[in-house]
Protein backbone atom coordinates (compact mmCIF):
# COMPACT_ATOMS: atom_id res chain seq x y z
CA UNK A 1 0.00 0.00 0.00
CA UNK A 2 2.81 2.38 0.92
CA UNK A 3 4.52 1.69 -2.42
CA UNK A 4 1.33 1.98 -4.45
CA UNK A 5 0.22 5.25 -2.83
CA UNK A 6 3.38 7.07 -1.73
CA UNK A 7 1.84 10.55 -1.38
CA UNK A 8 -1.87 10.17 -0.55
CA UNK A 9 -2.59 13.87 -0.04
CA UNK A 10 -0.95 14.94 -3.31
CA UNK A 11 -2.60 12.13 -5.28
CA UNK A 12 -6.04 12.86 -3.84
CA UNK A 13 -5.77 16.53 -4.80
CA UNK A 14 -4.57 15.54 -8.28
CA UNK A 15 -7.61 13.29 -8.69
CA UNK A 16 -9.88 16.09 -7.49
CA UNK A 17 -8.32 18.52 -9.97
CA UNK A 18 -8.78 15.98 -12.78
CA UNK A 19 -12.45 15.57 -11.91
CA UNK A 20 -12.96 19.35 -11.71
CA UNK A 21 -11.45 19.83 -15.17
CA UNK A 22 -12.95 16.81 -16.94
CA UNK A 23 -16.30 16.50 -15.15
CA UNK A 24 -17.59 14.27 -12.36
CA UNK A 25 -18.34 10.98 -14.17
CA UNK A 26 -17.45 7.37 -13.36
CA UNK A 27 -15.26 7.06 -16.46
CA UNK A 28 -13.26 10.19 -15.65
CA UNK A 29 -12.94 8.97 -12.05
CA UNK A 30 -11.23 5.76 -13.25
CA UNK A 31 -8.95 7.68 -15.67
CA UNK A 32 -8.17 10.17 -12.90
CA UNK A 33 -7.16 7.37 -10.51
CA UNK A 34 -4.85 6.00 -13.22
CA UNK A 35 -3.28 9.42 -13.73
CA UNK A 36 -2.87 9.93 -9.98
CA UNK A 37 -1.20 6.52 -9.58
CA UNK A 38 1.21 7.22 -12.46
CA UNK A 39 2.02 10.70 -11.14
CA UNK A 40 2.57 9.26 -7.66
CA UNK A 41 5.10 6.76 -9.03
CA UNK A 42 6.82 9.53 -10.96
CA UNK A 43 6.94 11.73 -7.88
CA UNK A 44 8.31 8.88 -5.75
CA UNK A 45 11.35 8.77 -8.06
CA UNK A 46 12.12 12.38 -7.04
CA UNK A 47 11.88 11.66 -3.26
CA UNK A 48 10.29 14.92 -2.11
CA UNK A 49 9.82 15.43 1.61
CA UNK A 50 6.40 14.29 2.74
CA UNK A 51 4.68 16.76 5.06
CA UNK A 52 3.99 15.57 8.59
CA UNK A 53 0.87 17.21 9.92
CA UNK A 54 0.60 17.12 13.70
CA UNK A 55 -2.56 19.14 14.26
CA UNK A 56 -5.19 18.76 11.56
CA UNK A 57 -7.76 20.61 13.62
CA UNK A 58 -5.84 23.91 13.49
CA UNK A 59 -5.86 24.16 9.68
CA UNK A 60 -9.39 25.66 9.38
CA UNK A 61 -8.47 28.20 12.07
CA UNK A 62 -5.36 29.22 10.08
CA UNK A 63 -7.35 29.53 6.85
CA UNK A 64 -9.98 31.64 8.61
CA UNK A 65 -7.38 33.97 10.13
CA UNK A 66 -5.59 34.38 6.80
CA UNK A 67 -8.79 35.13 4.84
CA UNK A 68 -9.82 37.69 7.47
CA UNK A 69 -6.40 39.35 7.37
CA UNK A 70 -6.38 39.43 3.56
CA UNK A 71 -9.72 41.29 3.56
CA UNK A 72 -8.50 43.77 6.19
CA UNK A 73 -5.18 44.46 4.46
CA UNK A 74 -6.92 44.80 1.08
CA UNK A 75 -8.96 47.63 2.59
CA UNK A 76 -5.80 49.17 4.11
CA UNK A 77 -3.88 49.12 0.81
CA UNK A 78 -6.86 50.48 -1.15
CA UNK A 79 -7.01 53.36 1.36
CA UNK A 80 -3.29 54.06 0.89
CA UNK A 81 -3.54 54.06 -2.91
CA UNK A 82 -6.75 56.08 -3.14
CA UNK A 83 -5.79 58.78 -0.62
CA UNK A 84 -2.38 59.15 -2.25
CA UNK A 85 1.01 59.46 -0.62
CA UNK A 86 0.34 60.90 2.79
CA UNK A 87 3.24 62.28 4.77
CA UNK A 88 2.89 59.86 7.66
CA UNK A 89 3.39 56.66 5.72
CA UNK A 90 6.80 55.13 5.32
CA UNK A 91 7.70 51.86 3.68
CA UNK A 92 10.66 49.83 4.83
CA UNK A 93 12.31 46.50 5.40
CA UNK A 94 11.94 44.35 8.50
CA UNK A 95 14.32 41.52 9.35
CA UNK A 96 12.55 38.94 11.50
CA UNK A 97 14.18 35.92 13.16
CA UNK A 98 12.08 32.77 12.81
CA UNK A 99 11.82 29.62 14.94
CA UNK A 100 9.96 27.74 12.22
CA UNK A 101 12.31 25.28 10.44
CA UNK A 102 9.97 22.99 8.53
CA UNK A 103 10.38 23.74 4.78
CA UNK A 104 6.69 23.24 3.99
CA UNK A 105 5.71 25.44 6.93
CA UNK A 106 8.07 28.14 5.65
CA UNK A 107 6.60 27.82 2.15
CA UNK A 108 3.08 28.29 3.55
CA UNK A 109 4.26 31.26 5.62
CA UNK A 110 5.70 32.87 2.50
CA UNK A 111 2.43 32.32 0.63
CA UNK A 112 0.49 33.90 3.53
CA UNK A 113 2.82 36.90 3.78
CA UNK A 114 2.87 37.58 0.06
CA UNK A 115 -0.87 37.02 -0.48
CA UNK A 116 -1.61 39.63 2.15
CA UNK A 117 -1.35 43.01 0.39
CA UNK A 118 1.04 45.35 2.16
CA UNK A 119 3.67 42.79 3.09
CA UNK A 120 6.09 41.10 0.70
CA UNK A 121 8.51 38.25 1.41
CA UNK A 122 11.88 39.31 0.04
CA UNK A 123 14.57 36.90 1.17
CA UNK A 124 15.07 33.99 3.55
CA UNK A 125 18.49 33.42 5.09
CA UNK A 126 18.64 29.72 5.94
CA UNK A 127 21.95 29.92 7.84
CA UNK A 128 20.63 32.54 10.27
CA UNK A 129 16.98 31.55 9.72
CA UNK A 130 15.82 35.11 9.36
CA UNK A 131 13.35 36.46 6.87
CA UNK A 132 13.51 39.87 5.19
CA UNK A 133 10.09 41.41 4.66
CA UNK A 134 9.12 44.63 2.95
CA UNK A 135 6.18 46.40 4.54
CA UNK A 136 4.21 49.09 2.74
CA UNK A 137 2.96 50.91 5.81
CA UNK A 138 5.58 50.54 8.51
CA UNK A 139 3.97 52.58 11.27
CA UNK A 140 4.71 50.26 14.14
CA UNK A 141 7.51 47.80 13.47
CA UNK A 142 6.97 45.80 16.66
CA UNK A 143 3.32 45.27 15.75
CA UNK A 144 4.31 43.73 12.42
CA UNK A 145 6.85 41.43 14.06
CA UNK A 146 4.24 40.36 16.61
CA UNK A 147 1.66 39.75 13.86
CA UNK A 148 3.97 37.49 11.88
CA UNK A 149 5.30 35.61 14.88
CA UNK A 150 2.20 35.22 17.08
CA UNK A 151 -0.50 35.04 14.46
CA UNK A 152 1.03 32.87 11.73
CA UNK A 153 4.30 31.34 12.87
CA UNK A 154 2.86 30.05 16.15
CA UNK A 155 0.00 28.27 14.38
CA UNK A 156 2.29 26.87 11.68
CA UNK A 157 4.65 25.53 14.31
CA UNK A 158 1.71 23.89 16.08
CA UNK A 159 0.60 22.29 12.81
CA UNK A 160 3.97 21.14 11.44
CA UNK A 161 6.40 20.72 14.31
Partner 1 sequence: MSHAADLPVWVAVLVSAFLLLGAFLTLVGSIGFYRFKSFYERIHAPTLGTSWGTASIVISSMILFTVLQSRPVFHEILIGIFVTVTTPVTLMLLGRATLYRDRSEGNPGVPPMDAPLSGRRDTERR
Which residue ranges make up the site for partner 1 (CB under 8 A)? Answer: 17, 20-21, 70-71, 74, 77-78, 80-82, 84-85, 90-97, 110-111, 113-123, 125, 130, 132, 134, 136, 138, 141-142, 145
CA distance 154 to 150: 5
Rg (CA), the chain: 20
Q: Which is nearer to partner 1, 30 or 91 (CB)?
A: 91
Q: Which is nearer to partner 1, 30 or 111 (CB)?
A: 111
Phi, psi of 34 (to 5 degrees): -60, -45
> Coil, helix or strand for 127?
coil
CA distance 107 to 104: 5
Distances (CA, A) of 159 to 68, 110, 153: 19, 16, 10
User: Smallest distance, Å, CB 114 to partner 1?
Assistant: 4
User: Smallest distance, Å, CB 78 to partner 1?
Assistant: 5
User: Smallest distance, Å, CB 66 to partner 1?
Assistant: 10
Q: Which is nearer to partner 1, 90 or 101 (CB)?
A: 90
CA-nearest of 159, 150, 155, 107 to 131 is: 107
Q: Which is nearer to partner 1, 41 or 93 (CB)?
A: 93
User: Smallest distance, Å, CB 68 to partner 1?
Assistant: 12
Amino acid sequence: MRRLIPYPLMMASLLLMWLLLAGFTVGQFIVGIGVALLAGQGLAALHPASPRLRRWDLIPKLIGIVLYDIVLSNIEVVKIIVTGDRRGRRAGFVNIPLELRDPIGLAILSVIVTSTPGTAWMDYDSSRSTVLLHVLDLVDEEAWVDTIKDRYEFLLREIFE
